[in-house]
Structure 1
Amino acid sequence: MSEEIRRLSVLVDEFSLPFHPEPLVLNVYKRELHLHVESGLGSNLRARLSTALALNIEASQREMTERMASLLPKDTKQVSLSILPRREPFEILYRLNCDNLCADFQEDLEFRFSWGITSLIQRFCGKNANRICLLNFKEKPGDLPTPTESADSSLMFPASKSTDWSIPSKIALASIGSQGTMGGMLVAGAHTIVYSQMMKTIGWRVIAVTGAIYGLLYLYERLTWTNKAKERAFKEQYVAHATKKLRLIVDLTSANCSHQVQQELSSTFAQLCHLVDGSTSEMDARLKELEKEIKALEKAANEAKVLRNKANYLSKELEMFDDTYLRIKD
């Protein structure tokens, strides 16, 4: 299941329902995507595991049956062997329930310029870039790097000893994380100060060319932010969210599969126990019949013994009568 979760992006890319950022349409899109992911993961897991599990279960069932059959009479043994092979192949059922699992997924389809100041800071410093910059400004304002000390800035702008960059740099970094009006005013003010210093240092032509390139990049990304791009961003966000959620239920799903296997083996064991109980009942009934026959035979033997004694007695009486009255004396 962990391997299938790592391949979740492939499964999501295969979802081809038309995408539209309208909220109502997007809700239907997400619901259908939940069903697609749940069905795809379930079918992939069944394809990879059902055959192997079925073979192992069949081997265990055969071993159980052979061991049990060795204790049964020959006629019952044939009945027990008829339990295998199964009429229907064993198949694990997976209930992932992606609809509830990813119900808290919230997409973010707002356009964000990849070369914007906030995006660049977050790209190089991570998610805590804003907090780090504010802490640096409050705690260690003297340690903030100036553009003349930066390797990247030294490639773009010539260093000037007469230019003091510390104050505008501190203001810009402190206001990067702000998304409100005050943050925007601080950023604008910081940019104004920086641009005035840059105009004196490197000239307006370089700034104009750089600004034009920057504007063209922004225009290009803004024009390419189409429904297709929004769909890609949506799927990337969904894959990240679903991956995190699905990893939480790996152990639970594994336990559920183990329970199904245990139920299958327990069912076979119960059938074998039923055969043994039936065979035991038949043997008990047969023993009772044999006991009755033994008692009848013992009774007949006792009666035969009495009759034999009587016959012996009569035989002796006849011999005495014959000796006394019937034989002619010499």
Structure 2
Amino acid sequence: MLSLLNKWYKARFSDPQAVTLVMIIIGLALILYFAGGLLAPLLVALVLAFLLEWPVAQMLRLGMNRSTAASLVLVLFVGLMLLIVLVLMPSIWRQGLALISDLPSMIDKGLITAQGYINQYPQFIAADQLDSMVNQLKKMLDTQHLLDFGKQLIGYSASLLVLMVYAILVPLLVFFFLKDKDSLIKGSKRFIPTNRDLARKVWYEMHQQIFNYIRGKIIEIVIIGVVSYLFFAIMDLRYAALLGVLTGLSVLIPYVGATLVTLPIALVAFFQWGISPEFGYLMLGYGIIQALDGNLLVPILFSDAVDLHPVFIIAAVLVFGGLWGVWGVFFAIPLASLVKAVINAWPQLPEEQSAQDQAQQQQSAEQQVSS
């Protein structure tokens, strides 16, 4: 067994470039896993600087120096964020509090409706089963428990230290990352082994894909959130802003997010209109939005960024989301693409390369015959 493992290790890790790539990946993974919380402002600033590098580069092409371009882009970005926070967040916060306060009455209305269906169709569910579910639901959604949770949430979110760190330190870090990009990259190369050609190849392959994915995901969030809000507002659905934002954010979790956000939308619509034509129109329109997102918007935005099977995407969401929470979910697809790029760039054995070449030649011959 040991000799087999030793043979496999020598065959796969005989190339120094491959060893360097593995060391870089393991080092970054350990830093993120053990120090991700401490380095959160730095990581957030890195992500924002990566996204804002594109407009800075466009300004550099127009003849503007990097410091001026970085300052202008950062001011515009901070202004946009302030506009969103000051205009959008108060409305969402008020609707969230209203939804929490209305939950007891919604639950009572739902229980009355459920009791009516049980009386009509007693063969499907017994009354004692409904009572058991009601007792469990009341324990979970006890008003005092919800208020205590809300107070804790307010206390955490209003932490002055956290707000100061993210409001002051992150923009400052973004500015320095944008302004001193070249010198920072040059200085960081001292800590990376010199035989890093394979790692550089993987990075060049991933750089544009990651940028396209993040840019496309932000555009998708904005489009789906705005369209959903407008549709909910036209239908006069309660908590339209809150549900529109939730619908937009649901695209962060491929396949799973849309399923999760459908439940609160359906419940709010049911408690507002019951089983009525309005309820059917709302769910039909919401289904059309989701269908257009999956079949039109996603292929347009991510045609060059994502080439993964849905099984691997869901697995990546579960794995990286479990490791790094919200950030892991957001970057699940880029990380999965990184794993795929590493596998594709990994040095192959001669017999594997020969088999792959034969398979490609056979595939090309079959395509020529079929055409």
TM-score, normalising length: structure 1:
0.21
TM-score, normalising length: structure 2:
0.19
Between the two structures, name the one with larger relative contact order (CA 8 Å, sep ≥ 6): 1
In terms of fraction of residues, the more helix-rich structure is 2
Q: Computing the radius of gyration over CA atoms, which structure comes out larger, 1 or 2? A: 1
